[in-house]
Structure 1
Amino acid sequence: MQLTFEVISENKLEVCKDLCNELMTFQKSVAHIRPEIFDNMRYETRLVPSVKNAIHNYIVVVKDGVTPIAYMYSNISSKESHSNEFATFFDLDSVKNKNVGNLAQFFIKKEYRQYGIGSKLFSMSMDWLNQFNDVEDYFIYVSNGNENALEFYKRKGFAVSHEILDGFITVLRR
């Protein structure tokens, strides 16, 4: 195993396409609340619009040799962007600043889990998010059924804030 962690620019986002689609397939496979919502979620409908709508983006791809095996996407976005036709993700009045930090997407191929990749990606994300002095609120959204991710983020200092869409997503906050 020869792992490299590469920060990529938005114009190289396509390298995340297959991993993002695997994430959506995985989320549907473990969901017990409305898994059909994932039918329309893929790279073009989730990752691309999120990157385009964010104020700042941070994308890290992990490769084993030349093969992408994991990615993490974090962003800084306006708090108003978290209320849309899909859902209102948190009480906008509970955030005093105009922008929030998000660890928005995180995926590691199954055979590469338990090697510390997740902890390293998480640390990279938090280091990046913490450099924005005007951001005090950080969110992570975990789809229902993904208990391993939920417990991972709780061990890293995030707390469950609430659920949205009748339990479809658990909102964690720090």
Structure 2
Amino acid sequence: MNLSFNVIEDDELGYCKELCNELMVFQKSKALIQPELFDGMNFETRLLPSVKKAKQNYVVVVKDGYIPVAYVYTNISPKETYSNEFATFFDLSSVSRNDVGCLSQFYIKEEYRQFGIGSKLFDMSMKWLNQYKEVDDYFIFVSNGNNDALEFYKRKGFTISHQILDGFITVLRSNRSNFLKEG
């Protein structure tokens, strides 16, 4: 393996298009509750709109040589972004500031799991979020059935807050102070 971790700009998002689409298929394959909701989810309907709505974006693509094998998408967005026609992801009044940090998408091709790529991408995302002192609340939204991801984030310091859409998504929450020692 010849892995490189590449922070990409918004105009380079095409590097993670295939990975994003694989993530949606993977999430559907794990889902026990309403898997059909993933049918309309892909790069164009999930990643691109989220990037456009966010105030700040951070995307890291991991390549093995020239081949993308993993990515993480983290953003800073107005808290109101998370109350829309799809769902209200958290009680807006529970967030003290105007903006929230969100580790929004995270995917590693199966054959590249268990090499520490996930931990490195997670740590990079938390370090990036920590530079925004005006953001205290961090969220991760895990699709139902993805218990490995849920346990990973819990080991990393996030706690389950609640479920939305009748259990379709589990909301995990943490705050900036939990990651200051690492940043």
State whether TM-score is above 0.5. yes
SS at match of 2:73: strand
For 1:46, the equivalent position in structure 2 comes to 46
Instruction: Indicate the RMSD between aligned Cα atoms, in angstroms.
Output: 0.2
For 1:148, the equivalent position in structure 2 comes to 148
Equivalent residue letter for 2:106: F
Equivalent residue letter for 1:46: R
TM-score of the superposition, structure 2-length normalised?
A: 0.95
TM-score of the superposition, structure 1-length normalised?
A: 1.00
Q: Tell me the CA shift for residue 144 of structure 1.
A: 0.1
Does 1:119 pair with 2:119? yes
For 1:25, the equivalent position in structure 2 comes to 25
Deviations 1:14-39 (A, max 9, x none): 11100000000000001000000000
**Pairing of 1:58-97 with structure 2 (within 5 A):** 58-97=58-97
Q: Tell me the CA shift for residue 130 of structure 1.
A: 0.7
**Pairing of 1:130-149 with structure 2 (within 5 A):** 130-149=130-149
Deviations 1:123-151 (A, max 9, x none): 00000001100000000000000000000
For 2:57, the equivalent position in structure 1 comes to 57
Deviations 1:74-105 (A, max 9, x none): 00000001000000000000001000000000
For 1:129, the equivalent position in structure 2 comes to 129
Deviations 1:112-131 (A, max 9, x none): 00000000000000000011
SS at match of 1:49: helix
- The total of aligned residue pairs comes to 174
Structure 1 residues not aligned, in runs of 5+: none
Q: Tell me the CA shift for residue 165 of structure 1.
A: 0.1
Equivalent residue letter for 1:27: Q
Structure 2 residues not aligned, in runs of 5+: 175-183
Distance in 1, Cα, partners of 2:172 & 2:143 = 11
Sequence identity (%): 69
Deviations 1:30-54 (A, max 9, x none): 1000000000000000000000000
